[in-house]
A and B are shown apart, each in its own frame.
Chain A
Amino acid sequence: MGSPAAHNAQRYFVPAPSAWPFMLTAGLVALVVGVAGYLEHSQLTPALIWPGFLLAIVIIFLWFRGVARESETGQYGAQVDRTYRWGMSWFIFSEVMFFGAFFGALFYARGLSLPWLGGEGAKLATHVTLWPGFESVWPSNGPANLGGEFKTIPAFDVPLLNTIILLTSGFTITMAHHALKAGKRGVCILWMWATVALGASFLYFQAEEYIHAYHELNLTLGSGIYGSTFFMLTGFHGMHVTLGTLMLFVITLRLMAGHFKPESHFGFEGVAWYWHFVDVVWLGLFVVVYWL
């Protein structure tokens, strides 16, 4: 039996019953149970990690392919299009709040806890009785000098390069968008490949940075609050870039497969929004993590 839309174009598209969500959950849960077991050195559950991961990936692929088909076969009206726009916006908002937690931690450490440990503000006794002689500077790995001496990555080096890369990629994807709207599919695809390439190179440099940090600079997750905030923020950003690049890649393939129309192509725009979000987060990182 088809969906209501098959009977009345005006009706909102309500998908037929689907096993994807349930299987996606199963995959995810297998994955996290596996990881949890691994963290606690359990014998059994780590075996679940890869099956779970694969299941999740496969389902995500099937799900998105299904959505793409529904969209291409014109089952979505304007209203569904608005749904996706709202949905994506709110999703990105939730992502912003997620990063907010880690930025909050960074500001708290720099603005409150380190100064307190260093004897500034309301907590003089803390400094005098527990951490005499510690003076609060940034970067810091705390009064116990956790993880030993370390050096930081200068902002106006590779990070600057990465900033330029991401900004450029923001530009190229916009160009691609214009091309798509102007119906110049070929041009659009070229700009998209450029964007994908930029995303990939960002990741390459980021990886280099990490290796450099761990091997030459002795800057690790264990380097006190600096290492913690540095890797947590840049790390989660990196994951988002990875995801974004993948999404750009898929969109590019879809463009080559003839998907999207000049007037309706939210799949494309959604990814573009996401990419811009990743871009903006990086600017924040560049300023408060690398530069200041």
Chain B
Amino acid sequence: MAQAHDHNDHAHDAHGHDGHHGPDQGIMRWIKTTNHKDLGTLYLFFSFTMFFIGGLMSLVIRAELFHPGLQFVDPEFFNQMTTMHALVMIFGGVMPGFVGLANWMVPMMIGASDLALPRVNNWGFWILPFAFSMLISTLFMDGGAPAGGWTMYPPLVLQTGNAFPFLIFAVHLMGISSITGAINVVVTILNMRAPGMTLLKMPLFVWTWLITAYLLIAVMPVLAGAVTMLLTDKYFHTSFFTASGGGDPVMFQHIFWFFGHPEVYIMILPAFGIVSTIIPTFARKALFGYDSMVYATASIAFLSFIVWAHHMFTVGMPLTGELFFMFATMLIAVPTGVKVFNWVATMWKGSMTFETPMLFALGFVFLFSIGGFSGLMLAITPVDFQYHDTYFVVAHFHYVLVPGAVFSIIAAVYYWIPKWTGRMYNEAAGKWHFWLSAVFINLTFFPQHFAGLAGMQRRVPDYAVQFTDWNVMSTVGAFGFFVAQFIFVFNMLASCFGWFGRTQGLPDRVWEGAHGLEWTVASPAPYHTFEDPPQVGGDVLTAVHDESDALDHHKLV
């Protein structure tokens, strides 16, 4: 993230030295950049900001739920918070976070000089700040922000006030951004691998992103179609989702979840890739079952297209439908299991150390699995009739999303930030961050299982008094977790801007156990890497620095 710094200096003395156009100066650098590292940095800062806005919204939710009775907000506003929280976290936090990591790492991991379509890459990023300003501005409109849940079910969502078209167009814009970003990643991976970097030599992060990008290209357009139909139903008298015209409100749910379920895997596959990269490094042992990892990822992606209706067990599908979607959904446990088992086998008889990235990766394996187990329980249709739309579901998906997706992003940032900035983060602070996060996230979401099983439904600002205990714990945990994140903020900004000034002498290979091309370039990585493709031979990865990279090397380290 310190490209901001290093590269301004770099650009200064880099004037006229061959093979480089230095970036523009000041703000224009960020607006006009076509550099995958700059854009990665932008994506990550954006994601970071959204995470905190979404986090604040979740605190409004938790504050209101701290006690039974309505203390702080009007029910309508509460629903707006729930809806916006989810949209901001998913489309503004997790997805751009992963895209940022892909921007930074995919080219460096496959020995490419940049993403395949750098200008499109810039476009994909700059859509996001606009789209989210639009979305968030709806909070101040007549009738307030959308309050129909992030799932936008009609007819309820059609009761949204002036915010409605802004919601729809914001979703369209996010779609454009994701699709362009995904196309960029796919093309880069398929077309720009260094000689010798065969598909089955690619790091798993690259593999999982390849498949994620494929999912994105396949389902984002479907979401665009779905919300377009909402738009025409509201303003142009169509009746896709109205029975009296021959349509069906449930039809929207089918189309939405055809997007929505793959979407949830879009939010976890890159995480799998990150964990599969970090664990071998700190276990000092090659990833167990590389090939099976690849096949497992592929089968998860495939299955994710035929399980969508497990979100709709209660809408009154025909029995055969319910049975099919139950079986298909349960199947997903198998390839996911393969992954978990492979991670354990990688640690087995390794020689482990527990730096912060490793801690978050291990936390991921434990807590994601817990979320996975509850997912499996949800898949059992007759029992889902009891779970559906309760806090048991909320607990499930926060386990896979927060200590799942979010932990993996945090782990990745700790893991690669020395490579990005040339400065090690503060290990002690990192450990504090992990242990506090781990404790509080469980305090936040574990009790929600019980609240849900005991009968507390989702999306309510108030509840029957017997759920008080669970909600008190959950709220306390939420505030604790949020506060704990500031350690992280501080730690990251510190290494971005060198507050501890530890710039000197980070080796290219920052982690002794690390493998892969990104560890063959200088730390911090020069502004341009692998302009001339490296040679990738056998299992040994050797990079041919061109002399200008060597120059950077001297300048920056």
Residues of B close to A143: CB separation below 8 A: 243-244, 246
A1-B21, A12-B113 in contact; A100/B532 too (CB < 8 A)?
A: no
Interface window among B182-190, B369-377, B420-428: B182-190
- Alpha-carbon gap, A123 to B315, bound state (A): 12
B247 & A101 in contact (Cβ 8 Å cutoff): no
A97-B221, A98-B221, A146-B244 in contact; A17/B113 too (CB < 8 A)?
A: no
Q: Taking the complex as formed, is A50 at the interface, i.e. its CB lies under 8 A from any CB of chain B?
A: no
Q: Taking the complex as formed, is B503 at the interface, i.e. its CB lies under 8 A from any CB of chain A?
A: no
- Alpha-carbon gap, A106 to B500, bound state (A): 62
- Alpha-carbon gap, A117 to B248, bound state (A): 10
A142 & B116 in contact (Cβ 8 Å cutoff): no
Interface positions, chain A 10-66, Cβ under 8 Å from B, are: 10-12, 14-22, 24-26, 28-29, 32-33, 35-36, 39-40, 42, 63
Q: Taking the complex as formed, is A195 at the interface, i.e. its CB lies under 8 A from any CB of chain B?
A: no
A87 & B126 in contact (Cβ 8 Å cutoff): no
How far in angstroms is the closest Cβ of chain B from A136? 8
- Shortest Cβ distance from A38 into B: residue: B165
Contact with B along A102-140 (1 / 0, CB 8 A): 101100110011101100011100000011000000001
A12-B114, A36-B165, A40-B162 in contact; A227/B238 too (CB < 8 A)?
A: yes
B126 & A25 in contact (Cβ 8 Å cutoff): yes
- Shortest Cβ distance from B176 into A: residue: A28
- Shortest Cβ distance from A97 into B: residue: B221
How far in angstroms is the closest Cβ of chain A from B166? 5
Q: Mark A residues whose CB is within 8 Å of B.
A: 1-4, 7-8, 10-12, 14-22, 24-26, 28-29, 32-33, 35-36, 39-40, 42, 63, 79, 82-83, 86-87, 90-91, 93-95, 97-102, 104-105, 108-109, 112-114, 116-117, 121-123, 130-131, 140-144, 146-147, 220-222, 224-229, 231-232
Since A14-B113, A94-B220, A147-B237 are in contact, a sample of 18 more A-B pairs with Cβ atoms closer than 8 Å, ordered by chain A residue number, is: A11-B113, A21-B123, A22-B122, A24-B123, A25-B127, A29-B127, A29-B134, A32-B169, A39-B235, A83-B117, A86-B186, A86-B191, A94-B179, A104-B222, A221-B237, A222-B238, A224-B245, A224-B247
A/B interface sample: 8 pairs, CB < 8 A: A4-B113, A4-B531, A15-B119, A29-B127, A83-B187, A87-B187, A101-B228, A104-B255
Q: Mark B residues whose CB is within 8 Å of A.
A: 16, 18-24, 28-29, 31-35, 112-114, 116-120, 122-123, 126-127, 130-131, 134, 162, 164-166, 168-169, 172-173, 179, 182-183, 186-187, 190-192, 217-222, 224-226, 228-229, 232, 235-240, 242-248, 251, 254-255, 258, 316, 318-319, 528, 531-532
Task: State the 7 A-B residue pairs at the shortest beta-carbon distance, nearest first.
Answer: A101-B225, A142-B246, A21-B123, A144-B244, A225-B246, A36-B165, A222-B237
